[in-house]
Amino acid sequence: MNILMLLYKDIPYDARVKREALALAEAGHAVYLACVREFQEPDPFLHKNIHLIRIGISVKSMKATMSKGKASAQTRQSAVKKLIVRTARLPLVKIPKDYLAYYEFYKKVKVHLKEISIDAVHCHDLNTLWQGHMLSKDFSAKLIYDSHEIFNEMAGRNQLDRITGYAMEKRLFQKIDYLVTVNPYLRDYLFEKNGEKPCVLIQNIPLFHKDVLKQEKAIDWDYSFNENDTILLYQGGFSPYRGLELIIDAMAKLPETYKLVMIGSGILKDELVSRTVSLGLSDRVFFHDQVSSENLIHYTLKADIGLVMYEKVSKNNYYSTPNKIFEYLQAGVPAVSSNHPGKSVIIDEYKTGVLAEETPEGIVNGILEIMNQYAYYQQNCLRAREVLTWEAESKKLIQMYENFS
pLDDT tens-digit series, residues 183-204: 999 999 999 999 999 999 999 8
Helix axes 129-139, 91-112, angle to 10 degrees: 30
Q: Which of 257, 372, 349, 358 is nearest to 308 (CA)?
A: 358
pLDDT bucket at 207, cuts 50 / 70 / 90: confident
pLDDT tens readout for residues 111-124:
999 999 999 999 99
pLDDT of 221: 75
Residues 148 and 125 sit within 8 Å (Cβ to Cβ): yes
Q: Report the predicted TM-score, pTM, of the whole model to 2 decimal places.
A: 0.83
Give pLDDT tens digits for 132-186: 999 999 999 999 999 999 998 887 778 888 999 999 999 999 999 999 999 999 9
Residues recorded for the chain: 405
Per residue in 328-341, pLDDT (tens digit) is 999 999 999 999 99
CA distance 239 to 237: 5
**Which residues have C-beta within 8 Å of that of residue 268, sequence separation ≥ 6?**
238, 239, 240, 244
Residue 252 burial class via C-beta count within 10 angstroms: exposed 0-12, middle 13-18, buried 19 and up? middle
User: Distance (Å, rounded) from C-alpha 6 to C-alpha 9?
Assistant: 9
How confident is the prediction for the chain on average, in pLDDT?
Answer: 90
- The half-sphere exposure of 47 on its side-chain side, counting CA atoms within 13 A, is 18
- Cβ neighbours around 211 below 10 Å, total: 7
Q: Is 82 exposed, middle or buried (0-12, 13-18, 19+ CB in 10 A)?
A: exposed
Cα-only R_g, the chain:
22
